[in-house]
A and B are shown apart, each in its own frame.
Chain A
Amino acid sequence: MPDLPALSVDELLRLDRQHVWHPYGPMPGRQDPLVVASASGVRLRMADGSGELVDGMSSWWSAIHGYNHPVLNDAVREQLSRMSHVMFGGLTHEPAVRLAKRLVDMSPDGLEHVFLADSGSVSVEVAVKMCLQYWRSLGRPAKRRLMTWRGGYHGDTWQPMSVCDPEGGMHELWSGVLPRQVFADPPPTAYEESYAGHLRELIARHAHELAAVIVEPVVQGAGGMRFHSPAYLRVLREACDEHDVLLVFDEIATGFGRTGALFAADHAGLAPDVMCVGKALTGGYLTLAAALCTARVAEGISRGEVPVLAHGPTFMGNPLAAAVACASIDLLLGQDWQTEVKRIETGLLEGLAPAAELPGVRDVRVLGAIGVVQLDHPVDMAAATRAAVAEGVWLRPFRDLVYTMPPYVTGDADLARIARAVRAAAEAG
């Protein structure tokens, strides 16, 4: 660093308030964020000298191996010494090719082609473009709508927003601007034949105009942290096949072991036509996502009047991100990750169970390394966050949810602490 004086925490916060947007925030922000100086393992070190917080969020599902991991650091350093970036049009490089091969090998069978995108939302945009263009190339341009179920979250750019939950995604605000998609009711937790019938009926009714069904498999993330039976995925797969509709799984949150399976689709033992991954792809190191598709989709697009997928982000296939993604995947698959996720599931089940007795708690649910306490009222985010921080844990509650998806490397004592913090936040919020 040049010789600029370090910013004091107060100065930093003042400038932050003055110039910096935060996610889903007003300008200026209503609440001062906490300032992080560094992070290592599962701990965030606070810049104000207040100490460390155990991270219960994996930085929104991504930091599965924790922070400042020596193996991942080495991968970045190693790649940095070669090149941090080079354009992807007309050029290619080993990190991107290696990563694509790993993704194809580890993902459900049939997904063979990889488009590297620079964020989860963009990968969903690309996935949707693939599907729409597939039908257009086959001479069926009327098939351009999407179907999903309520309660979903797919990102904040336009196509993803249009398939987010209409209420959670504030579709009212964007009426007339946002594409109008087909919405099924939210999926029930357990398999119900009547809901399966509802899905089948809706797909059959709209098949002529549907390009794809897009869902988050098994766990709906930021749309409400709801879980559902993988049997519904089989219903979707079957109905889509029957009615000539493509199936897209958004595994951006669920991928890389979070639900106890490598990908949530594995709970159902099937493959979508297009799959999006992101978040934990780089172990939380750098922004990177990917849309994988089958040979059928790729060949369909390439047979069209415009036989190319017209998409190409400047930072597509970024070598630094691709290199750390390869290292993160190797780190994951090189350990007994299933046992680790199971251990976290058990810890969360035990630690969160008492929350069910708290006043104001509607539901407690755990799947894989995901623990959720749902309140019967909107959470007081400031109070809930304060309560968690007082327990030495970083949580970011939203809507009526206090939840955690800790790094897989979280030890049992830290896990117990996270569970205590979730209970405290649920009680305070």
Chain B
Amino acid sequence: MDLLSTLVDKGLRRELPTRDEALAVLATSDDELLDVVAAAGRVRRHWFGRRVKLNYLVNLKSGLCPEDCSYCSQRLGSTAGILKYSWLKPDEASQAAAAGLAGGAKRVCLVASGRGPTDRDVERVSATIKAIKDQNEGVEVCACLGLLSDGQAERLRAAGADAYNHNLNTSEATYGDITTTHTYADRVDTVTKAHAAGLSACSGLIAGMGESDEDLVDVVFALRELDPDSVPVNFLIPFEGTPLGKEWNLTPQRCLRILAMVRFVCPDVEVRIAGGREVHLRTMQPLALHLANSIFLGDYLTSEGQAGKADLEMIADAGFEVEGTDRVTLPGHRAAAGGCGSHDGTGHESPEGAGCGSGESSGCGSGESSGCVSHAGGGVCGSAAPAAAAEPQVNEARTDLVAVRRRGAGTDLAPNA
């Protein structure tokens, strides 16, 4: 297939595909699916080998967001029965992080609901970052706190944050349909601020909110333009009690095509499967590892993920390996380019070379498919729930697939890691 060999060539050369090529990937048929995965898989292996980076979410502050993002279980007016709590104390957050790190994660993503942090919140998070870094050598910390004001990114950087996550979520054209309380431009501004402060930028999207193929291509091209080090791809977790609670319109095949498209457009960037992995890819999850080089371990912000042990087994069974802290995630040219802070980029030019120093690489996709301004996702992932049949259009809430998180951070119960 001409399209696919063209895309592989471009991916290996880090050359941008055309919009039509990206759209064509999304338009491929189910018969072509394995060829699409194989092609994008070649690009993935060229830049990232068979490594899978594990990220671990800690929801510092859950629910009660004043923003109205329609996809998010923590939004204004959400009646989803999620955990709601205010700031975890630094030692509580550190404990939660330790569980994820013990399970094999190398990055901790600290997420807080809300429009954006106050200066006092930044101080709080700084203390939390310090606590985590003191107790866990080599850990990468990504913050995801919403829209940043001037100077806040610099202070997070100084406190030891390696990365900052803020997703674009959807195309500029459709942004107003999912949120009215802030704009697409606000989001771009925060990603730019984080980048300028020397934080590794992490910014991604949510698929499955009723957007068109054009919208998906728009947002992925916009992301490439912003040049983040990591791109979390969330698949909407339709949460009962949110306006998009009945928006079940993704199939595993569509998810794979979307991931392949993102891989072709952002070949040398960490592509992370974020919220929605379990509920939308379901038994097809292992195939997605050929496209993405990064996933979240354990639970999401407000919903349960599959058991951490099941994630590790899946990675091993599919012939991949968990990326250790001794390996740098990104290819050498990106590490050296400074996008990700790169203080210890070793300058290897080999495709698999040292990316950003551990301590710096990619962002935090905050797991959830998206949340309010800060938490990227309303998210949730259903606990490895029994797969729904291949019927894509389900017009009702799927409480069988989406399980609200009731363990880990903010509870007395042990986390899933």
Contact = CB atoms under 8 A, between A and B. Distances in A.
Contacts of A231: 66-67, 76, 181
Contact of A234 (B65, B85, B118): B65
B181 A270 contact: no
A267 interface: yes
B87 interface: yes
A267 B118 contact: no
A238 B76 contact: no
Nearest to B242: A269
Interface of A: 109, 191, 193, 196-197, 200, 229-232, 234-235, 237-238, 241-242, 266-270
B86 A268 contact: no
Contacts of A267: 76-77
B351 interface: no
Interface residues of B, number: 21
B79 A241 contact: no
Contacts of A197: 118
Interface in B57-101: 61, 63-67, 75-81, 84-87
Contacts of B84: 237, 241, 270
13 contacts: A196-B66, A197-B118, A200-B118, A231-B66, A231-B67, A231-B76, A238-B86, A242-B86, A267-B76, A267-B77, A269-B75, A269-B80, A270-B63
A234 B87 CA distance: 14
B81 A238 contact: no
B115 A269 contact: no
Contacts of B67: 231
B146 to A, nearest CB: 11
A7 to B, nearest CB: 52
B241 interface: yes
A269 B66 contact: no
B118 A241 contact: no
Contact of A241 (B80, B81, B86): B86
Contacts, number: 46
Interface of B is mostly: loop
A232 B64 CA distance: 10
A231 B66 CA distance: 5
A193 B117 CA distance: 11
Interface of B: 61, 63-67, 75-81, 84-87, 115, 118, 181, 241
Contacts of B87: 242
Contact of B85 (A109, A229, A241): A241
A409 B181 CA distance: 34
Nearest to B84: A270
Given A109-B81, A269-B80, 17 more contacts: A197-B118, A229-B66, A230-B77, A231-B76, A232-B66, A234-B66, A238-B64, A241-B85, A241-B86, A242-B86, A242-B87, A266-B77, A267-B76, A269-B75, A269-B76, A269-B79, A270-B84
Nearest to B85: A241
A116 B306 CA distance: 45
Nearest to A108: B79
Nearest to B79: A269
Nearest to A193: B115
Contacts of B75: 269
Contact of A230 (B76, B86, B118): B76
Residue from A191, A197, A231, A234 whose CB has the most chain B CB atoms within 10 Å: A234
B240 to A, nearest CB: 12
A254 to B, nearest CB: 15
Contacts of B66: 191, 196, 229, 231-232, 234-235
Nearest to A266: B79
Contacts of A241: 84-86
Residue from B65, B76, B81 whose CB has the most chain A CB atoms within 10 Å: B76
